[in-house]
Structure 1
Amino acid sequence: MRNRLFATRRVHIALLTIAAGAVFTSSACHSSGAADSAAADSSPDKPAVSVQTVRPQRGAIAQPVRAYGIVAASASNVTTINLPYIARVVQIRVQPGQTVTRGTPLVAVQADPAAVLAATQAKSAVTLAQGELARTQSLFDKGLATQSQLAAARKSADDARQTLAAQNQSGVASGNKIVTAPFDGVVLQLSVAQGDQVQAGAAILQLTGGAGNDMRSNVTLGVEPSDAAQVHPGDTVTLHGLSATLAKKAIDGRVVLVGASIDPQSQLVDVGANVPLGQSAFIPGTRVNADIATRNGVRWIVPRAAVLKGDKGAYVFQVDAQNKARRVAVAIEVENGDRYGVDGALNQTQALVVSGNYELEDGMAVRGSGGAPR
């Protein structure tokens, strides 16, 4: 009986020992798991991506279209100087290519004697017709002339006055007459020589409005047909010379007309520009290239390297105050060299990523390439 009690007690002690061991093991495992979890929580964050940034800018930017051409007046910009009567060229005061201002003497002419005689006769005819009208009117008042005779006298006086007005308008006069430039321009061509007899209406010289003070074309350009639809009257044109001496010179003007067909020889679309050439080195005949600023507008101006393209369109990354990359969708409106003009919800206070953006995803941490967070 006593031995049985000792055996039972040993069994109880063994069971308590096993239970205590289980509790200890469970506590140890729980403590180990908590330590592992704490260690996991205290592990370092994912490294920030090194990037380079710039500040976004907003301003005017245009899509350039390249054109080639020549400083040459269109037919609408050329004026032919002539006389409405026969005359002899006494003296030539200008030469081809010369720049002239309004009122500059061009040539001295002497009217043909027959033209001078016709002008003198027109004056005499007016005096005679007016005297005859006065005499007929007096006779009519006395009942000695008919209504028909008075009407004929009045018609003769009117015809004489009109003939004299036409002679005066032609400017026929005895002696030498100086023909002057009607506007600022350039002498394109002389059609006469000193001593020539010039018929009425025949060309003496051609003058072009080379100063570009009006809105007629004085530069003829050609653009690719694919670019012609972008060019419109009023677009800014910047001329550059093709020669080495003019390559660094530039002068601005405006597009005044855009052709609606392709030139069969050049296979380009003609564009006419008005440029204030003035006393510049771009004289008639100068071959030039030109940049036409099309689709001009105020947009975000960003480097090409800042813009990425994906399935949903173009986008950029900006860096917020927490040094996190934020993806912003943009629409590319113009391309100008190494810059884009884009529209989008950019933040002017946040830096724009231009290098390292291929590694970024929305929300990733970033730092400047020098090591300091940006």
Structure 2
Amino acid sequence: MRNSLFPPLRPWPRAVTIAAIAPLAALAAPLAWAALLCASIHAAHAADSAAAEPQPSVAVQTVRVQRAVIAQPVRGFGIVAASASSLTTINLPYVARIVQMRVQTGQSVARGTPLFVVQADPAAVLAATQAKSALTLAQGELARTQSLYDKGLATQSQLASARKAADDAQQALAAQNQTGIAGGNKTITAPFAGVVLQLSAAQGDQVAAGAAILQLASGHLDATHDTRANVTLGIEPADAGSVHPGDTVTLHGLSAPLAKTAVAGRVVLVGAAVDQQSQLVDIGANVPLAQTPFIPGTRVAADIATRSGTHWIVPRAAVLEDGQGHYVFQITPQKKAHRVAVTIAVENGERYGVDGSLDAALGLVVSGNYELQDGMAVRAGGDTPR
């Protein structure tokens, strides 16, 4: 065996080993508890620091909401004074010649204004004259027959025939008088205040009995007492079911000068069929157009207010939708987002009329709402204009 520089290790006696280690173990236990205590203090301090840090929030813009009357508009297009109920065709029941035309297309006329001067056809005047002569002759024959009958020189049948001839002559003359035919020139006047919409004859023309000479449109309809339509509008068939007589109509001009001019009236007639040419449903509206730039023949657009009712009025941007339906966010006094379920009742341009448990005292989020969740902290940027 090699000699070693160190003497060989020899095991300690068992009694010596236990006696030497026991004090060391007694010292280790307090150190472990001290280390555990320090770790707990450090964790609590870290939690307090995290709680003291501000939580993430979303910047939003809000508006105030209120309940008010709102309607869903239906758009229609049409023309002023195109309804048959507001037009009158001026004609004559006899053949005549236009001696002088006193008005022109587009001219406003008052009741009694001279429209044109005519001269009846000589044959028509002759017929009227002959009717008068026939009546005079029949009445004379009746008187003579009556005298003979009283003397027993005429029969009852002869007297009855004379009476019938007199009656027939009287009715023929009355028919001639109803036509208003007379010899010489005759002036025809406007039967009501309105606008000359169209001239169908010119000065010097010979017109047949019943032929149109001009068309007169009533231009002074009273929307309170008159139930005639002076505007015809066309709307989509899908919208016809929501339009009813009495609905408010607002006219706007299609031309640039009339684009900002608006006149209100009401619906008086809703068509029950689709027009084969336009494929639209005709709506008759009564709009007071006196002293407005909407002269007969003006093409217009119209908004018909339908489904009118009282709802919460909110901007379109405020309403969101997910699998649970439509909803909005309002801001609580604690600056938290509060989700409110709503039902859309009316759409009007950039506004909705909605029903739901909204609070008029709380701001409604219109910007930043896509980032929100119920209960999330927010930073309100102030109310925006409604």
TM-score range, shorter chain: 0.7 to 0.9
Among candidates 340, 345, 349, match of residue 328 of structure 1: 340
2:62 touches 2:382 (CA, 8 Å); kept in 1? no
Are 1:168 and 2:182 an aligned pair?
no
**1:263-274 alignment runs, 5 A limit:** 263-264=276-277, 270-274=282-286
Larger Rg: 2
Q: In 2 relative to 1, CA 306–117 (structure 1 residues): closer, same or farther, beyond 3 Å?
A: same
Which of 214, 236, 242 pairs up with 1:205?
Answer: 214
| 2:269 is the alignment partner of 1:260 | no
What SS does the corresponding residue of 2:215 show, helix, strand or coil? Answer: strand
Match of 2:330 among 318, 339, 343: 318
| 1:83 maps onto 2:119 in alignment | no
Matches of 1:222 and 1:351 in 2, distance apart? 41
Choose which of 195, 201, 209 in structure 2 pairs with 1:186.
195
Q: Counterpart in 2 of 1:95?
A: 104
- Aligned residue for 1:245, secondary structure, equals helix
Cα drift, residue 205 of structure 1: 1.6
Report the AA paired with residue 166 of structure 1: A
For the 8 Å contact 1:259–1:271, the answer to whether it is kept is no
- What is the SS of the residue equivalent to 2:97? strand
Matched residue of 1:369: which SS?
A: strand
Q: CA deviation at 1:247?
A: 2.8
Cα distance per residue 1:284-313 (max 9 Å; x no partner):
444443334333333221111211111111
Residue 3 (structure 1) aligns with: none
Counterpart Cα distance in 1 of 2:103 and 2:187: 12
Partner Cα separation in structure 2 for residue 299 and residue 46 of structure 1: 36
Tell me the distance in 1 between the aligned counterparts of 2:303 and 2:206: 47
Q: CA deviation at 1:248?
A: 2.8
Q: How many percent identity over aligned positions? A: 70
1:232·1:258 contact (CA, 8 Å) conserved in 2? no
CA displacement 1:2-23 (0-9 Å, x = unmatched): xxxxxxxxxxxx9xx99x979x
Task: Give yes or no for the alignment of 1:243 onto 2:255.
Answer: yes
Give the partner amino acid of 1:301: I
- Matched AA of 1:53: T
Q: Secondary structure at the match of 2:341?
A: strand
2:62, 2:367 within 8 Å by CA — same for their partners in 1? yes
* Shift in CA distance, 40/150, structure 1 to aligned 2, threshold 3 Å: farther
CA distance in 2, matches of 1:74, 1:263: 17
CA distance 1:252–1:42, change in 2 (3 Å):
closer
CA separation of 1:146 and 1:343: change in aligned 2, threshold 3 A: farther
Quote the Cα distance in structure 1 between the aligned partners of 2:142 and 2:372.
102
What is residue 303 of structure 2 aligned with on the other side?
Answer: 291
SS in 2 for 1:154: helix
Alignment of 1:196 onto 2:205: yes
Aligned equivalents of 2:205, 2:47: Cα separation in 1: 111
Q: 1:9-20 maps to which residues of 2 (within 5 A)? A: none
- Is the CA contact (8 Å cut-off) linking 2:98 and 2:205 kept in structure 1? yes
Pick which of 139-148 and 32-41 moved more: 32-41
- Offset, 1:56: 0.8
**1: distance between equivalents of 2:254 and 2:157?**
75
CA distance in 2, matches of 1:321, 1:146: 112
User: Is the 8 Å Cα contact of residues 186 and 207 (structure 1) preserved in structure 2?
Assistant: yes
Q: Kindly report which structure 2 residues correspond to 1:1-374, keeping only aligned pairs within 5 A, or say none.
A: 39=48, 46=55, 49-71=58-80, 73-130=82-139, 132-133=141-142, 136=145, 145-212=154-221, 215-224=227-236, 227=239, 229-255=241-267, 256-258=269-271, 260-261=273-274, 263-264=276-277, 270-369=282-381
Question: Quick one: distance in 1 between partners of 2:228 and 2:285?
Answer: 8
CA contact (8 A) 2:240 2:270 kept: no
Q: Any idea what the Cα deviations from partners look like across 1:177-229, whole Å, max 9, x if unmatched?
A: 22112223222332323233333222222223344555555445444555555
Letter in 1 for 2:110: T
Residue identity in the other structure for 2:274: S
Residue type of the alignment partner of 1:179: I
Amino acid corresponding to residue 104 of structure 2 in structure 1: Q
Number of aligned positions between the proteins? 361
Which stretch shifts more, 81-90 or 149-158? 149-158
Query: Offset of 1:157 from its aligned partner?
Result: 3.0
Measure how far apart 1:162 and its partner are.
1.8
- Cα distance in 1 between the residues matched to 2:201 and 2:246: 38
**Matched residues in 2 for 1:177 and 1:63: separation?**
54
Mind listing any 5+ residue stretches in structure 1 that lack a counterpart? 1-13
135-144 or 194-203: which moved more? Answer: 135-144
2-structure distance, mates of 1:370, 1:101: 59
Distance 1:287 1:38, change over 3 A: closer
Cα displacement (A) at 1:274: 4.2
Q: Where in structure 2 are there 5+ consecutive unaligned residues?
A: 1-22
Query: Helix, strand or coil: the match of 2:169?
Result: helix
Q: Is the 8 A contact 2:312 2:353 kept in 1?
A: yes
Aligned partners of 1:273 and 1:182: how far apart in 2? Answer: 23
Counterpart AA for 1:57 = Q
Offset at 1:104?
A: 1.6
